[in-house]
């Protein structure tokens, strides 16, 4: 128990539980028309899975973006990669025409991941080759990639085959109107990201580069390869999120994921990732995404003005950064006193 309470995730989990308790207490209840049982408006299977589904699409991207942030970079183009991957997948499947379920799924996910990989590699090569800060590069590609999606789709919403929607909305035996596939995908991506960062040598190299690039260079690490690699991972997660989102909603357009950059970076920062590099966690990024969605859910459930959503999320991001800096400063002073 002491080890659990001292873990990085303990604070976020506690905040989520407290917010969930408040929502449960204030959300009220309604009577189920079929069973006659009284059901809490928040604490029920439909709302909880829907909340996880809402979080899943940018939580998947947040895992990849967190890896970029740990390395000392930043990726503002994830929302545009999402839009372009979704549009490219929808256009390709429409051009190929009707196919079986397995080929449609394989081609769809393959195209989405390929677009994400190419866009991520493009970001990485420009950051390394042009020696321009990732903020500037990804700010530019954010506009370029969304513009390409706009031109390719002619600003239209393109339908995807029903077979993909049936897969994304499979109930997996949970009952009607319960769609756990996006949530399960989010969990699998988070587990994969956590294993990569904590249990593999390349993952430790990402922390090393973000913590001290010069020391990493003198240690023989190939910084250019690591920098390109983290952007490729970020692009892949954006492509996967695009495939899941387009399949779940049944269509793709150039305006998909507009503003997701805020949610993705906020999820990473609220989850404790340091924008200076060298610190972050895939699990915390997912929990940060869930917390942000709960904040949005609170605004809807408690019937507050939804125009305050951006204000609250922005304040939460600033508070998270301030608390992180305060904690780091406190730890540094404590270590300095211990050294004396």
> Among 28-32, 68-72, 187-191, 220-224, where is mean pLDDT lowest?
28-32
> Among 7-16, 56-65, 128-137, where is mean pLDDT lowest?
7-16
Q: Looking at residues 79-89, what average pLDDT do you find?
A: 95
pLDDT in tens, 273-316: 888 888 889 999 999 899 888 888 777 777 777 777 778 777 87
Relative orientation angle of helices 134-153 and 101-130, to the nearest 10 degrees: 140
Alpha-carbon distance 128 to 65, whole Å? 17
pLDDT in tens, 215-272: 888 888 889 999 999 999 999 999 999 999 999 999 999 999 888 888 898 889 888 8
Does the structure show a pLDDT above 60 at 6?
no
pLDDT of residue 127: 95
pLDDT of residue 106: 93
Identify the CA nearest to 246 among candidates 162, 123, 340: 162
Domains of the chain, earliest start first? 55-301+308-325 (1.10.3470)
pLDDT in tens, 16-66: 888 888 888 887 887 877 777 788 888 888 888 888 888 999 899 999 999
Specify whether the CB–CB gap between 124 and 232 falls below 8 A: yes
Q: Looking at residues 119-127, what average pLDDT do you find?
A: 96
3-state helix, strand, coil in the chain (%, to 5): 75, 5, 25
Q: With bands split at pLDDT 50, 70 and 90, how would you rate the model's confidence at 12? A: confident
pLDDT of residue 204: 93
Q: What is the mean pLDDT of the chain?
A: 87
List, as one string, the DSSP characters of 15-58.
HHHHHHHHHHHHS-EEE-TTT--EEESSSSHHHHHHHHHHHHHH
Contacts with 86 (C-beta within 8 Å, 6 or more apart), sequence order:
112, 149, 242, 243, 245, 246, 252, 253, 256
Does the structure show a pLDDT above 70 at 1?
no
Specify whether the CB–CB gap between 41 and 30 falls below 8 A: yes
> Structure pTM?
0.90
pLDDT of residue 101: 82
């Amino acid at each position: 128990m002491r080890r659990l309470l001292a873990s990085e995730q303990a604070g976020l989990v506690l905040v989520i539980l407290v917010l969930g308790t408040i929502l449960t207490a204030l959300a009220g209840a309604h009577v189920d028309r079929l069973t006659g049982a009284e059901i809490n408006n928040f604490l029920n299977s439909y709302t909880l899975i829907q909340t996880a589904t809402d979080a899943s699409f940018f939580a998947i991207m947040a895992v990849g973006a967190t890896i970029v942030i740990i390395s000392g970079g930043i990726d503002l183009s994830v929302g545009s990669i999402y839009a372009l991957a979704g549009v490219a997948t929808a256009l390709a499947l429409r051009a190929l025409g009707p196919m079986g379920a397995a080929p449609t799924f394989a081609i769809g996910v393959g195209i989405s991941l390929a677009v994400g990989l190419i866009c991520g590699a493009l970001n990485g090569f420009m950051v390394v080759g042009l020696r321009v800060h990732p903020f500037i590069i990804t700010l530019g590609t954010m506009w370029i990639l969304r513009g390409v999606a706009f031109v390719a789709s002619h600003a239209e919403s393109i339908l995807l085959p029903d077979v993909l929607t049936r897969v994304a909305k499979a109930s997996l035996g949970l009952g009607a109107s319960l769609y756990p596939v996006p949530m399960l995908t989010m969990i699998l991506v988070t587990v994969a990201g956590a294993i990569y960062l904590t249990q593999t040598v390349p993952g430790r190299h990402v922390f090393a580069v973000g913590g001290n690039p010069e020391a990493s260079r003198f240690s023989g690490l190939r910084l250019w390869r690591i920098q390109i690699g983290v952007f490729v991972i970020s692009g892949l997660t954006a492509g996967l999120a695009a495939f899941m989102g387009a399949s779940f909603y049944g269509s793709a357009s150039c305006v998909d994921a507009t503003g997701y950059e805020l949610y993705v970076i906020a999820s990473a920062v609220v989850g404790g990732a340091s924008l200076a590099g060298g610190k972050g966690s895939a699990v915390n990024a997912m929990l940060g995404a869930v917390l942000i969605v709960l904040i949005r859910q609170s605004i809807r459930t408690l019937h507050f003005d939804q125009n305050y959503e951006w204000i609250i999320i922005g304040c939460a991001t600033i508070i998270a950064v301030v608390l992180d800096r305060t904690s780091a400063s406190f730890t540094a002073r404590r270590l300095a006193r211990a050294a004396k």
